[in-house]
Structure 1
Amino acid sequence: FGTGSRLVYDVLMNAENRQFIYQGMSALLMGGGFSGTFTTYGVTVAVNGAALPAGSVAVYSGQSLVVAFDPWSLVIAVIIYVVMSASSCDEEEGKLAMKEGAGLCHAVGTYCSSCIRVFGSCVSCITHTTRKCCFNSMLARIVNEQGRTQVGKGWGSAQNPD
């Protein structure tokens, strides 16, 4: 064990020390030594008379602690979460972006991969997908691009790349 772990072990395993730490934290958080608010997803915890956000409703009120709820903040936080989740990349897309940034990919084409259909025909495209062929080096990409041009071999369609 290192020095830090031995000290932590000594402090936390002694019952008198635990009581001392508990009393100190209680005095800091519930006494006059600390005041502030913490808000997440519309729930606010205010300590020692700190101001609550406008429009919030007090759910619990104690001697030096207030828990409040603001439904508008919850709605805004959920909308932001949904938008960020929808616009974020998964691991595979992240690797593709790194390969693209290194110049290892050749774009074959773009097509509509999912659309709104009315009577069997596509009315509006929801998702456009760009297909790419990626190689393990820039030399391999260049040889493929130039070699395919010289022998007259194409890359295939965007939906079925070769």
Structure 2
Amino acid sequence: MQLSATPYEERLTAPRSWWLISLLVGLSIALMLVPFGTLPILGGLAGGTAVAAVAASSYGAVRIRVVGGSLVAGDAKVPVTALGEAEILDPEEARAWRTYKADTRAFLLLRAYIPTAVRIEVTDPDDPTPYLYLSTREPERLAEALRTAKAAV
């Protein structure tokens, strides 16, 4: 019997505080343009806020998905058959795997504002990547989706 894969999709959006920072960037640019008059102030406020907001939005646009028998994390697409068990990392263990336990050959999808993560061993002998480290707000759901997708293949 084949199981249908548990659908999983997560967007690693930037935290709300980054949007406030975007406004503060626009405000600081507007303040730098005070000597030039009202129009440059308004242009600096609008333009600076927009540029900072686009930067925050694009950084938080990365997605993690389990679709069609593959794990898609950012630019990486790995078939679930090439993956081992998913290890759920609490904030303390996730920090350790981002720092002193990290392997330079690993694929890291890091978002410092997300404290939890999943570490997934790569079992494909032709792939030099030892594991995938994925920041995720829902590590249990991601691990379950991977288990279900592997069982369905």
Q: TM-score range by the shorter chain?
A: under 0.3
Q: Is the strand fraction higher in 1 or 2?
A: 1
TM-score, normalised via structure 2 length: 0.23
Q: State the structure with bigger RCO (CA 8 A, min sep 6), 1 or 2.
A: 2
TM-score, normalised via structure 1 length: 0.22
Q: Which has the larger radius of gyration?
A: 1
